[in-house]
Amino acid sequence: MNGRPPSASEVIMTELVLPNDTNQLGNLLGGRLMHWIDIAAALVSQRHTGKICVTASVDEISFHEPIKLGHVVHVRARITRAFRTSMEVEVIVEREDPLNGSYARTSVAYLTFVGIDQYGKPLLAPPVLPETDEEKRRYDEAAQRRDARLRERKARTTAASSNA
């Protein structure tokens, strides 16, 4: 299975925040932003594998500052690493105020995707071939995040079954 560099599947999605995207304070709805994050990351995993991919998990997402009506949202999604069938995608969200040109990073999210066949069975993922120092750093850190994620998942499953 041929590997691919992160740059081959990168997605940059740009959205203008319109009234229907906001709450009563004129701030972007968290759910709308999570939808954009999920779509951008799903596109990355589908470009990387050439298969239909589903979201297996989304790590904690924090919103560091409000994004306002009229701001531009840049959602940049890149694959960090593929494991056996799962892949981690990093999504960085920046908001731009087009009236004064200011930028701020407002969220970073990590999502796990799995490519599946027509029966929903997980498929092997092509390896990620990091090229730059930054991509190599993200690749190494992805293994630590995956260990923590799977440990938490196991702890939750154990807690749920002992409460049943």
Where on the chain is the footprint of ligand COA (CB under 6 A)? 54-57, 83-86, 112, 114, 116, 120, 122, 149-150, 153
DSSP assignment of 86-101, as one string? EEEEEEEEEEEETTTT
Minimum distance of ligand COA from residue 125's CB (angstroms): 7
Q: Which is nearer to ligand COA, 27 or 85 (CB)?
A: 85
Find residue 127's DSSP bridge partners: none
Phi, psi of 122 (to 5 degrees): -60, 140
Minimum distance of ligand COA from residue 116's CB (angstroms): 5
Minimum distance of ligand COA from residue 69's CB (angstroms): 28
Minimum distance of ligand COA from residue 20's CB (angstroms): 22
Label residue 164 exposed, middle or buried (CB < 10 Å: 0-12, 13-18, 19+). Answer: exposed
Label residue 1 exposed, middle or buried (CB < 10 Å: 0-12, 13-18, 19+). Answer: exposed
Q: Which is nearer to ligand COA, 136 or 153 (CB)?
A: 153
Contact between 70 and 90 under an 8 Å Cβ cutoff? The reply is: no
